[in-house]
Amino acid sequence: MKYLLISLFVSLWFNAAIGQQDVLIKNGTLLTITDGVKEETDILLSNGKIKSIGKDLAAANARVIDAEGLFVMPGIVDAHSHIAIDAVNEATNPVTAEVFVGDAIDPYDIAMYRALAGGVTISHAMHGSANAIGGQCETLKHRWGELNPKSFVMEGAPRTIKFALGENPMRVHGEGKDIAPRTRMGIEQEFRRSFEGAKRYKQAWADHQSGKTKKPPAYSLRMQTLADILDGKIIIHCHSYRADEILMLMNVLSDFGVDKICFQHVNEGFKIAPELAEFGAHASVFSDWWAYKFEVYYSTAYNAAILTKNGVITSINSDDAGLIRHLYHEAAKTQRYGSLSDNEALRLITLNPAIQLGIDDRVGSLEVNKEADVAIFKNHPLSVYATPQMTIVDGVVRFDINEDMDDMRMEINPEAMLPAFYEQSEGHEDKCMQGVNSEHHHHAHSHHQH
Partner 1 sequence: MKIISSALIKWSMVTIWCLLMVPLVAQVDYNQVPNPSNCYFFDNVFIHESPGKAPYLGDLTIRNGLIEQVSRNHKAPFDAIKVKVDSMHMYAGFVDVLSHAGLKKEEKEGKVEVKFPGMPPDEVAGITPYKLAADAYDGSSASLEALRAAGFTTSQISLESGMMPGKAAIINTSGNKNPVIANQQNLFSQFKGAGRYYPSTIIAVIAKWKDLYNQAKHHQSYAESYTKNSNGMERPDPSKSTAALYDVVNNESTVFFKASKKLNVYRAIELRNDLGLNMVLTSVPYVGDMADYLAQEKASIALSINTPDTSKISIDSTRLAEDEEYAGMLKRQQEHMLAHQQNAAKLEKANIKFGFSSAGSELAKMQGNILTMIEHGLSPEAAHKALSTYPAEMLGIQKLVGTIEKGKLGQVIITDKPYFKEKAKVRMVFTGQELFEMAGEEAKAKGPASDIAGTWSFMVESPDGNQKGVFEITESSKGNYTIVIVPDDDPSDTETIKDVKPKGNKVSFSFVMSEEGFTVPIDIETTFEDKSFAGSLKFGDFGSFPIKGSLLKKPE
- CA distances from residue 154 to 354, 357, 421 in whole angstroms, order as listed: 12, 11, 27
What is the Cα–Cα distance from 299 to 291, expressed in whole angstroms? 8
CB of 217 or CB of 383, closer to partner 1: 217
> C-beta of 109: minimal distance to partner 1 in Å?
11
> C-beta of 278: minimal distance to partner 1 in Å?
35
CB of 147 or CB of 401, closer to partner 1: 147
> C-beta of 441: minimal distance to partner 1 in Å?
14
CB of 36 or CB of 414, closer to partner 1: 414
> C-beta of 146: minimal distance to partner 1 in Å?
11
CB of 192 or CB of 336, closer to partner 1: 192
What is the Cα–Cα distance from 363 to 350, expressed in whole angstroms? 8
Give the orientation angle of helix 221-230 with respect to helix 184-209, to 10 degrees: 100
CB of 61 or CB of 413, closer to partner 1: 413
Partner residues linked to 23 by β-bridges: 45, 63
Q: Measured at the alpha carbon of residue 109, what is the angle toward residues 104 and 110, in degrees to the nearest 5?
A: 170
Helix (H, G, I), strand (E, B) or coil at 133: strand
| Residue 136: closest CA among 96, 78, 80, 164 | 96
Helix (H, G, I), strand (E, B) or coil at 331: helix
392: left (phi over 0), alpha (psi -120 to 50) or beta: beta
CB of 80 or CB of 271, closer to partner 1: 80
CB of 48 or CB of 217, closer to partner 1: 217
> C-beta of 122: minimal distance to partner 1 in Å?
21
* Residues at the contact surface with partner 1, assessed by CB under 8 A: 2-3, 6-7, 86-87, 89-96, 98-101, 103-108, 127, 135, 147-150, 177, 179, 214-216, 218-222, 405-407, 409, 411-417, 419-420, 435, 437
> C-beta of 86: minimal distance to partner 1 in Å?
6
For 66, counting Cβ atoms within 10 Å of its Cβ (0-12 exposed, 13-18 middle, 19+ buried), the class is: exposed
The DSSP annotation for 247-290 comes to: HHHHHHHHHHT---EEEEE-TTGGGGHHHHHHHT-EEEE-SS--
For 381, counting Cβ atoms within 10 Å of its Cβ (0-12 exposed, 13-18 middle, 19+ buried), the class is: buried
> C-beta of 381: minimal distance to partner 1 in Å?
30
